Amino acid sequence: MKILFAMDNSPASQAALEEVASRPWPKASSFEIVSVVEPSHLWTTSEVALEAAHRAHDMVEQAIEYLRAREQNATGVTLFGNPRAVLLERAKITGVDFLFVGSHGASGVKRFLLGSVAAGVLREAPCSVEIVRAAEGSAIQKVLLATDGSESSDRAARSVADRPWPAGTKVRILSAVEVILPTSYATFESPYLDPALLESERAEAQKRCQETVTRTREIMAASGLELSESISVVVEPPRTIILNEAARWGADLIVLGSHGRRGIDRLLLGSVSESVAMHAGCSVEVIRAR
């Protein structure tokens, strides 16, 4: 597995590196540490720019040494430009499987790690992306796998099943479906809704959820991970369901496919996936096939 780790000089970025380095990885995995120095109009002299480049280079070298001391294959590079564009291009030309970023940044990279650039990377990266939120001494023990039974959700399940995880890791399969009534009912207030229709829609959604969980369990069967399941059929946005479930269960990592269908497609296709990644209290992976 080829991993690109976006590094800055914040404590959060260092904590994220330590958390990722502590995980077991498939044999022959490799890391590339990338630090992006964003040009600034405040740089009035070449000496200032040169000093920024030196600091970034030293930080990358320290990260490489840290990973190699833990018997990981690691290289690194310092690049210049817009962080979003640079990281997307680097992920593309190096053919990485995963792009990891910390959840907080500093200086120019802050916009990447906290705001619009992070959303752009999630949306446009040619590979899977993880936003890492690591507390001191944290380790992945609980993985919440959100699925809708689509091909991309199956891909996310296989990604979890195929990777080694720390001993005792638990995976909860969450199938969340938003009850969607026919368009003709959209303009009516709830007193005018047919209770029989609503119950029928709920029953159908419940069936889809159970089928999805069964399918995902089959994919995960050979992983050796401890599995549990959660089914949610409510009139709530899928992002709310997932964030609430992750908080209640105390998930360390949320894993999503990059595309979905029906009610959950807003989570897995666009703004909702970004909302989950930006607002979750834990790390979030969006799995995408290259």
Q: Which of 18-32, 144-158, 176-190 bottoms out in mean pLDDT, i.e. has the lowest?
A: 176-190
Same domain, 124 and 146: no
* pLDDT at residue 261, as a whole number: 42
**Does residue 161 lie within any of the structural domains?**
yes
Q: What CATH number is attached to the domain comprising 27?
A: 3.40.50.620
**Does residue 235 lie within any of the structural domains?**
yes
Q: Per mean pLDDT, which of 122-126, 143-147, 178-182 is the most reliable? A: 143-147
Same domain, 104 and 21: yes
Same domain, 201 and 109: no
Domain count for the chain, please give it. Answer: 2
**Does residue 251 lie within any of the structural domains?**
yes
How many alpha carbons fall within 13 Å on the CB side of residue 271? 1
Q: In this model, does residue 99 exceed pLDDT 90?
A: yes
Same domain, 90 and 147: no
Which residues touch 224 (CB under 8 Å, ≥6 apart)?
none
Last residue of a domain, one of 102, 132, 162: 132
Same domain, 278 and 154: yes
Q: Which of 124-138, 153-167, 180-194 bottoms out in mean pLDDT, i.e. has the lowest?
A: 180-194
Same domain, 96 and 12: yes
Q: 183-204 burial, b for 16+ CB within 10 Å, e for fewer?
A: eeeeeeeeeeeeeeeeeebeee
**Does residue 95 lie within any of the structural domains?**
yes
Q: With cut-offs at 50, 70 and 90, classify the pLDDT of residue 127.
A: very high
**Does residue 13 lie within any of the structural domains?**
yes
Last residue of a domain, one of 74, 99, 132: 132
Give tens-digit pLDDT for 259-272.
644 444 444 445 56
Same domain, 35 and 162: no
Rg from Cα positions in the chain: 21
For residue 5, what are the β-bridge partners? 33, 100
Same domain, 56 and 172: no
Give tens-digit pLDDT for 228-263.
998 876 667 788 889 999 999 999 999 998 864 444
Average pLDDT over residues 215-228: 92
Same domain, 268 and 159: yes
Q: In this model, does residue 279 exceed pLDDT 70?
A: yes
**Does residue 218 lie within any of the structural domains?**
yes
Tokens linked to 78: 């310092």
Which residues touch 47 (CB under 8 Å, ≥6 apart)?
none
Same domain, 122 and 161: no
**Does residue 137 lie within any of the structural domains?**
no
Is the separation of the CB atoms in 48 and 41 below 8 Å? no
Ordered DSSP codes for 116-177? HHHHHHHHH-SSEEEEE---TT----EEEEEE-SSHHHHHHHHHHHHS---TT-EEEEEEEE
Same domain, 121 and 169: no
Same domain, 15 and 128: yes
Q: Which of 4-8, 106-110, 193-197 bottoms out in mean pLDDT, i.e. has the lowest?
A: 106-110
Q: With cut-offs at 50, 70 and 90, classify the pLDDT of residue 13.
A: confident
Is the separation of the CB atoms in 144 and 249 below 8 Å? yes
- Domain holding 249, by residue range, is 142-287
**Does residue 108 lie within any of the structural domains?**
yes
pTM: 0.84
